[in-house]
Amino acid sequence: MDIDDILAEVSSAALIAPGTRDLHALTRAWVAERVAPELLPYPTPLLDRVLARISEQVRSVEDGMAGGADGLGGAATGGADKEKFRLIVVQTELERWKFLVRGLLRARLKKIDAHPYHILNTPDVLAKLSTSETQYLRAHQALLAAHYKSSFLGQFPPALQRLDDTAGGVSMIDAPDVDSAVFVRAVRDVGFITVEGTDTEFEMKRGDVWVVRWRSVRQAVESGDAELI
């Protein structure tokens, strides 16, 4: 071991490992997506990294299992036991990461299913979807529309067949309620938050927990100064 290795070890101990960073970010993203009333931007770089890490770990577990099966006859029982336990730990952690990813994507799917026309008609929201989510949304809606048309909409007068009618002052397009109350915690000092249309105004300092309308803290959450809890 030369001096560079020692230095690298010291500095990596002081800094946070990239894997740990991703775990923190993924956990935060999962919680935020679970509790936010509307769809949040798809964290493309984070999920790309996380999925790459997961598949790499799956490969190494498979290698480890193959190696364990080969070495089982020759190795001492104590060694084989340790190796088995190591694999259990690695797999447990792997499942925890997979749960986070699955939870994040399923929470997003729920919101996509809940407000399909709102998303399709609002370019800003559509930009928050990943490529496969957009693909799913379009294909799913095309299927649904065809099904509704053949089963009952086709028998309605043509003027009443639309699913996204906004005429007559009442819109058929449901949108998420961005004024819902959320629990939010400041990760850094956020500054003053004002709630539009009311007298509510307050300062949010690092570590503070507030219950407030999503609309008034959305910007702080998206910039990473605050997190949903």
* Footprint of another protein (CB under 8 A): 15-17, 19-24, 27-28, 31, 34-37, 53-54, 57, 82, 85-86, 88-90, 92-94, 96-97, 99, 103, 106-107, 109-110, 112-113, 177, 179-183, 185, 187-188, 193, 195-202, 206-213, 216, 227, 229
Measured CA to CA, the distance from residue 4 to residue 184 in angstroms comes to 43
Give backbone dihedrals phi and psi of 43, rounded to 5 degrees, phi first: -80, 75
End-to-end Cα spacing for the chain: 44
For another protein, the closer of residues 19 and 191 by Cβ is: 19
Contact 188, 220 (CB under 8 A): no
CB of 150 vs another protein, minimal distance in Å: 24
Measured CA to CA, the distance from residue 108 to residue 1 in angstroms comes to 47
Measured CA to CA, the distance from residue 79 to residue 33 in angstroms comes to 43
CB of 14 vs another protein, minimal distance in Å: 9
For another protein, the closer of residues 157 and 197 by Cβ is: 197
Instruction: Write out the two tokens for 159.
Output: 């003027």
For another protein, the closer of residues 18 and 154 by Cβ is: 18
CB of 106 vs another protein, minimal distance in Å: 4
